Each structure stands twice: as structure tokens, then as C-alpha cells.
Amino acid sequence: MTVSEALGVVRAEETNVLPRFLDLAYPNVERGEGVWLTTVDGRRILDACSGGAMVTCLGYGVRELVEAAAAQAERISYFYNHHFTSEPQERLAERLLEVAAPGMARVRFVSGGSEAVETALQLARLYHVERGETSRWRAITQAQAYHGSTMGTLALTGRRALREPFEPYLAQHLHIPPSTWRFDPTGEAALRALDRALEEAGPENVSAFFCEPVSAAALPAYSPPARFWEGLAERRERYGFLVCFDEVVTGVGRTGRWFAGEATACPPDLVAIAKGLGAGYAAIGAVLVREHVYEAIARGSRRFPLGHTWDGAPLACAVGLAVLEALQREGLVERVRERGPGLREELAAALAGIPIVREVRGHGYLLGVSFVDPRDGESFLPPELRVAARIDRAAFDLGLITLSTQPTRDGYAGDQTLFAPAFVATDDELGEMVARFAEAVRRVAEEVDRELSAAGRLFPSPTGGPS
Ligand code: PLP
């Protein structure tokens, strides 16, 4: 395909790109403005997922971000941070600590979420090694999670479907179930599982506990109950492992706080951030560490040379700085905090009465809808029905981008949708997103209802839960 032949929809056999899914036809996006996208064939689509991946928190076409990037590129866009630091890197680190994360002591910039989480994993390990506790390397994580696609971060998820082909490369970490209404509404079962994992690994071998304080795509808008966080903090105190929060999605305002971890009773030792920091205008992530983590290195080897070519590049940091300035100046984190509960209620009201909808969760502008088998209102839907994919398709047909997942075979979550609009969406735009989404869910629910009643024998009645 040449540029002049740009197609409205691109299929695997028509492109030089290796697509994510070879059986999907990819619409060809051309421009964005605010929360609206335009494809090369002129379709206008409303984006309820901030660039599809919870990234573009300030929307598309933001002049000041484009100008900040251009101005920095005119001065110097890139230099390796082995040789130089730069004003944008220094100012962004200072600003992040001052505005967003006053409890943290230092920042290491990277280029994305997987790099941020993997760097946190390395720093947690280094913390123990520097202090002479060299046996500590294993991580304990929440099984129903996504922390990235590198081998280091893939080993942190317990999701079989993601891990399977790469299993030989993955380190043996331990995983505990999430405390959802289905398994563990109080958080006590997860704490017992944590105790068993600590015992199995031997607490002296455990480096860190990793989780998202509020889950994103893996279990949209889920957060463990208060008792879990208290119990986690007690065990950290007792056994000396570190707590690392993956705030790749939740960091920088998504839940109505600068960091979602602020709302837990377990302040983290390390935090990984990415997505919203660059807001889709630059590839940037970061790891923030507390003083004792920094001090272990400062008093020890005084080196952490591992890193990536684009870490702390002036261009990316200048964009990050402009993003923080815009968020702060426009009071957008506060807007998300104030508007979020209402948005969740509007979403719940619009979906009320649709028999496949079980739960509408939400923290700020990170909302999640979980779907169940309408025959008992409780069990996972038969995976063959591919409800998640059908909802995204129905939404797209109605001109809306949503992000749905179907991790059923991993046992802890069924079909669900993540709803994560840009912080700048107007009330009218939010209302339109909710209306289109509800219509998409209603259409799929009707199809599901017909298919389940027509083919009762093909879809055995629900058994009440996962394996
Ligand atoms: N952690 C979480 C919670 C994520 O949602 C993602 C990506 O979706 C990552 C880590 C990995 O980030 P990236 O895709 O930027 O490497």
C-alpha cells in the first residue's frame, strides 16, 4: 500500500505492518481533536478510552503540548542521559515530586509502562542486594493483572493466556487472587493467600509485592477492600519486602488523585507511572522511589546504570512538564475527582435493567462494567459468545471507542469493559459516550439472549463460577 492509496480499513494481507490480530481489519485513523477521532474515510468517532489505552488524558490536538514539543526539539530533542542531564528532565522530576508525589524522593525516567514496571522490579531487587539481603528476588502479585509485555513484567501476571507461549522465559513469582465480590468481598481470603505465598517462597526470599492500586484493563476499576491494604502494610512491616504500585494507568490523575495509591492504607515504596504523563504526545514513563530505596543505593554501590536509550530525553521530559502544567492550571485532577462519581452513576443508570450487566465500578475517570450470564446474573458468560469483543464492535459501529476484555479462562474475571475518557471531555460528550455505550451493550445483550435461548444445549447452564 502506498500513502496515496491510503485505505479506510487495512487488513493483514494489505499491509507491511505486523498487526496485533491478523484477522482484524484496522480502520485508518487520520486526526484527532478533543475526544473525537477522524478516520481517513471521514468517519467521526468518539473516544471513551483516551487513545484506546488510557493515555490521552488531555485529548487530541492540544496546541500547547505540540508547541512544547516543537520548542524543545528546536533546542535539543535528544541526548543520552549517561552524558548529560537537561533542564526539562530536572524540572519534570522536581515538579513531579512537588506537585504529584511529595512522599517520594527520586525519579528515574523511562519511555513507557513496561519499562517503568521492569525498572521498579530491578530497583526493588537492588534495594535488598545493597543491604546485603541477596536472597530476596521473588515477587508476589495479584494474579488478575497486566504489568507489561517484557519478559520481566509478563512474569508478574498470573494470567495463563498471556504467559503461556513465553513460560520458559518467565521467572517463578507467586500470585494471589483478587478480592472481588465473587471470591473475597472482605479481602481476608487474599491476605490468607498472601500468607501462603510468603510461606511458600520463604519471606526472606521475597523482594516485593506488586499491584495496581486500582486495576485498569485486567479488572477494570477494581480495588481491593480496605482490610487488604492494612494487612499488606502489616506484612511488609513484619517481613521486610517492598510494595510497588503499578500506576501506569492510574498515575497522574486518572482516578481523581495524582496517584491512586494515596487512597490506600499502604503507602508504596516504589511507583511506576507512564501513559498519562506523556498524554500521547511523547513516550515517557517513570519510577518514583521513596527515600529509603534511594538511600540503599546511595550508601551502597552508588550505581544503577541499567536503563534505556530514551530515558529522560529532553523532548519527552518537556512534554511531561507541559502535561503537568496543563493538568494543574486547568484543575483537571480535581475535575475528575468531582465529576467521576456522577459519571459512574450516569453509566449505571444507562445500563440499568440490561440483564448481562452485573456491576458498574468507578474511581474518577477509570470506570469498569462487568458482564455476567443473564440466566443466573452471576456466572461468567460462555466464553464462546465473545461478548467483550462484540461490545467493542457494536460500540464502534455506533461511533464509540471502548476497551473490553475477556480473561475468563484465567479464572478470576469474565467479560468486562473499561471506560476511561479524557479529563477534558465536556458533560455533553460524556453523556454521548454513556448513551452510545448503553446502546451497544443493549444490542449485544439482546443477541446474547436470543442465542442462549436458541442454543440452550450448546451453552450448558452456568455452574456458578470459575475453575
Ligand atoms: N501496567 C499497566 C497497568 C498497563 O495497563 C500497561 C499497559 O497497558 C502496562 C503496565 C505496560 O505499559 P506499556 O504498554 O506502556 O509498556
- Confirm or reject: Cβ of 274 under 6 Å from ligand 1: yes
pLDDT digits (tens, 9 = 90+) for 33-74: 999 999 999 999 999 999 999 999 999 999 999 999 999 999
Q: What is the pTM of this model?
A: 0.96
CATH architecture of the domain covering 3-60+332-454: Alpha-Beta Complex (3.90)
Question: Quick count: other Cβ atoms within 10 Å of Cβ 36?
Answer: 16
**Whole-number pLDDT of residue 462:** 64
As a whole number of angstroms, the distance between CA 205 and CA 137 comes to 6
**Whole-number pLDDT of residue 102:** 85
Taking the centre of ligand 1 as the mean of its atom positions, its distance from the CA of residue 79, in whole angstroms, is 25
Domain positions in the chain are 3-60+332-454, 64-329
**Whole-number pLDDT of residue 467:** 29
**Whole-number pLDDT of residue 183:** 84
Do residues 168 and 154 touch, judged by C-beta distance below 8 A? Answer: no
Looking at this protein, which amino acid is placed at residue 149?
A: S
- Confirm or reject: Cβ of 218 under 6 Å from ligand 1: no
Q: First and final CA of the chain: distance in angstroms?
A: 46
Do residues 255 and 364 touch, judged by C-beta distance below 8 A? Answer: yes
As a whole number of angstroms, the distance between CA 46 and CA 37 comes to 6
Give me the residues of the chain with pLDDT under 50, please.
Answer: 1-4, 464-467
As a whole number of angstroms, the distance between CA 350 and CA 340 comes to 15
As a whole number of angstroms, the distance between CA 76 and CA 318 comes to 10
As a whole number of angstroms, the distance between CA 297 and CA 243 comes to 17
**Whole-number pLDDT of residue 457:** 52
Q: Which residues are bridge partners to 247 per DSSP?
A: 273
Choosing from 146, 252, 254, 273 the residue with most ligand 1 atoms within 8 A of its CB, the one to mutate for a pocket test is 146
Q: Report which DSSP code applies to 34.
A: B
What three-state secondary structure class fits 319?
A: helix
**Whole-number pLDDT of residue 6:** 64
- Confirm or reject: Cβ of 212 under 6 Å from ligand 1: yes
**Whole-number pLDDT of residue 466:** 38
Taking the centre of ligand 1 as the mean of its atom positions, its distance from the CA of residue 121, in whole angstroms, is 14
pLDDT digits (tens, 9 = 90+) for 130-152: 999 999 999 999 999 999 999 99
Domain 64-329 has CATH 3.40.640.10: yes
